[in-house]
Amino acid sequence: MPVYIALLRAVNVGGTGPLPMAELKAICEGLGFSDVKTYIQSGNVLFRSDEAEKVVEERLDDALGKTMRKRPGVMVRSRKELDKIATDAPFPEAQPNFLLVYFLPEKAPGDALETMVAPDGEEAKLAGREIYVHYPNGSGRSKLKLPALKPGTSRNLNTVRKLAAMAAALEDGD
């Protein structure tokens, strides 16, 4: 059974509101997902499901919308996709916590970076449904403007690597 990683947008970090990870786990189990595991409080959950990625994404977003009164936005990736995202990270000189991966609901247009305003020397790279952004001074006070990031959710490279390792352990546990 495939292993999926779901990344919730704006959960427990602003925007959508609080969601205890125990509740997220219970929602996933209620949807019939198995081997459910959460990671940190920012809306990361791993599980198994025989359903297609888009079906899983829609069902989880809908269930969360009923619980939270607003659909947060859910980006789902397979274990292999997450491995590739972690392995293919550009900007090798970047500290992993200063390199954010923005997970988007669909592939960004090829010209998405043309409107970028990066006053602090931020760098970005498109990669399918992800945009990597290196924040040389950290993302906290950055004045970066990049509209293509709005529908997505971000995780730093350390978190992406941890989620990839957790997904591999879950899948290899077969």
Reported as a single tens digit per residue, the pLDDT across 122-174 is: 999 999 999 999 999 999 999 999 999 999 999 999 999 999 999 999 988 75
**Residue 124, phi then psi, degrees to nearest 5:** -140, 150
What are the pLDDT digits (tens) for 22-42? Answer: 999 999 999 999 999 999 988
Band (pLDDT 50/70/90 cuts) for residue 10 is confident
In the predicted structure, residue 56 carries a pLDDT above the cut 70: yes
Element (DSSP H or E) covering residue 28? helix 21-30
Q: For residue 46, what pLDDT is reported?
A: 97
Using CA atoms, how far apart are residues 71 and 83, in angstroms rounded to an integer? 27
pTM: 0.93
Using alpha carbons, list the distances in angstroms from residue 58 to 31, 75, 88, 94, 156: 11, 9, 27, 34, 24
Q: For residue 13, what pLDDT is reported?
A: 53
- Mean pLDDT estimate for the chain: 93
Q: Do 89 and 121 meet the contact criterion of CB atoms below 8 Å apart?
A: no
Count of alpha carbons within 13 angstroms of residue 108, beta-carbon side: 25
